[in-house]
Amino acid sequence: MSRKYMVIYKQLRKSILDESYSRGMRLPSSRILAEQLGVSRNTILEAFAHLDAEGYIESRRGSGVYVKSFPNGYLDLLKSKKSGDVVPPERSPEENLLRPFHPAGPDVSLFPFQIFSRITARCYRELRSGNYYYEDSLGYRPLREALAAYLTLKRQVNCTAEQIMIVNGSQEAIFICAEIFVHAGTRVFLENPSYKLARFVFENKKGEIHFIPVDHEGMQVDKIIPSESSLTYITPSHQFPLGHTMSIERRLKLLEISRQKKLLVIEDDYDSDFRYTGEPLASLQGTGSGGKVIYIGTLSKILFPAIRIGFCVLPPEYIGKFLEKRKLINRQPAIINQAAAACFIEKGYLYRHLKQMHRVYKIRKDYLFYATQKHLSDFLVIENSDSGLHLAARFRKPYDKKILIQKAKIKKIDLVFISDYYHGTISIDGLVMGFSTYDTKIIEKTVRNLAEIFKEI
């Protein structure tokens, strides 16, 4: 799974740390190194870029690439620390914070925290003193600009920085939407099955909840009957938990209902940055015009959950309402994480990181799919989704969930059931199987253990 340039990077880094390449020394040119090592010049340039990003070397225009002149004792400090490789060795199950196959989100061990921490430190040094007082309640302007460019390019969202509000995770965006738009008698149309925390938010506001069935084309939008006050919360690009993508016919139909019946659409695009065949699909918000769509996204899946940065893209007429409600809740999100995230995007680190994670996650996704087909095909029917960080697998026959949970717990397996996300009649049951946090060795071992459990019952 490691890149070619990582081998070169490690060799050069080792030579710097053991002072084979001494402080201030000029390195051989990329062309010479490429010839000596039998690799392409681009591979050498990628290794140089990685070393430069971590502060080991510096490029001097017209002169070449040099080892940094580290202070005395600094190299000893670096040697005593763990390697800053972006791609660490495979981990054992005991080292995971989560147990397979919990659909947990990104593999944070692969995130370049050295780079991000250096960016954060620089932000503390370079932010103006005024930034440390109260900021714009919409969020840090450079981050909103960076997100507007990213969303326009990658998700085909129609927006400007002025329409983006930064929030403390996408759950806060859902909460604010419910606070503003849901009152006693408001019709709220939810997918069935659907994301439970969103459902709880709308139920807490005493909305009139209507559960709309989901099939392989997504929510059956023709069953939506709007009132004067109504909204729908959906996950059209990668339906949670079933993983289906809403068809273009239903997307256009939903936008038509929104336009004609004044139905507000809340689009939660929680993990669609990870699409494994081609570019990510266009967002619902960017599919057509005329409908009222609030687009919600998060950096939790593409960076790391603890950063607590989500965002919503608002129709212009709703910005004032969101600002009023936001000021009552917590006024603004923390500035330093926003500034660091903005710099991480602007400097191109996000795109580099996403490219790497696409490759890693695709390997794990395909491995889970084929391992499940090989060892669990008598018990589960699994769909190989084109996007997201989990797969859904249907039971071939009913099973006693309590017995499954008990036996899985002994083998340190977390089972998440599709039926847990239904309200009322359960049309499909099976497992929601996260793959992103678990390497292929863990996936193989867990699938085999799960097959043993099914055979026992």
Q: How many domains does the chain have?
A: 3
d(CA 246, CA 251): 7
Which domain range does residue 377 map to?
Answer: 94-111+352-456
Write down the pLDDT at residue 97: 58
**Beta-carbon neighbour count of residue 308 at 10 Å?**
17
337-356: string of b/e by CB count within 10 Å (b at 16+)?
A: bbbbbbbbbbeebbebbbeb
Residue 228 sits in a domain of what CATH number?
3.40.640.10
- Between strands 310-313 and 380-382, the pairing is unpaired
Among 349, 364, 391, which residue terminates a domain?
A: 349
CB 214 within 8 A of CB 235: no
CB 303 within 8 A of CB 276: no
Residues 148 and 124 both lie in one domain: yes
Residues 127 and 107 both lie in one domain: no
Residues 159 and 266 both lie in one domain: yes
β-bridge partners, 187: 208, 230
> Which residues, in sequence order, are CB contacts of 218 under 8 Å at separation 6+?
191, 234, 236, 239, 244, 245, 246, 247, 250
pLDDT tens for 338-395 read: 999 999 999 999 999 999 999 999 999 999 999 999 999 999 999 888 899 999 999 9
| Cα-only R_g, the chain | 24
Give first-to-last CA distance, the chain, whole Å.
36
Residues 13 and 78 both lie in one domain: yes
Residues 168 and 104 both lie in one domain: no
Residues 367 and 412 both lie in one domain: yes
Residue found by looking up tokens 């326009």 in the block: 152
* Tokens of residue 41, six digits: 């010049």
Residues 47 and 170 both lie in one domain: no
Residues 231 and 284 both lie in one domain: yes
Residues 313 and 448 both lie in one domain: no
Residue 448 sits in a domain of what CATH number?
3.90.1150.10
Residue 58 sits in a domain of what CATH number?
1.10.10.10
* Tokens of residue 27, six digits: 């390195």
Among 349, 372, 394, which residue terminates a domain?
A: 349
Q: What are phi and psi of 347, to 5 degrees?
A: -80, 0
What is the DSSP code string of 262-275?
Answer: --EEEEE-SSTT-B
Write down the pLDDT at residue 455: 95
Among 349, 384, 405, which residue terminates a domain?
A: 349
Please give the average pLDDT of every successive group of 10 residues along the chain, which has 457 residues: 69 83 86 84 84 80 83 58 44 59 91 95 86 83 96 92 96 96 94 96 93 96 93 96 94 93 94 83 81 94 95 96 92 92 95 93 96 97 92 96 95 96 94 96 96 94
Residues 362 and 341 both lie in one domain: no
Residues 241 and 296 both lie in one domain: yes
Residues 298 and 417 both lie in one domain: no
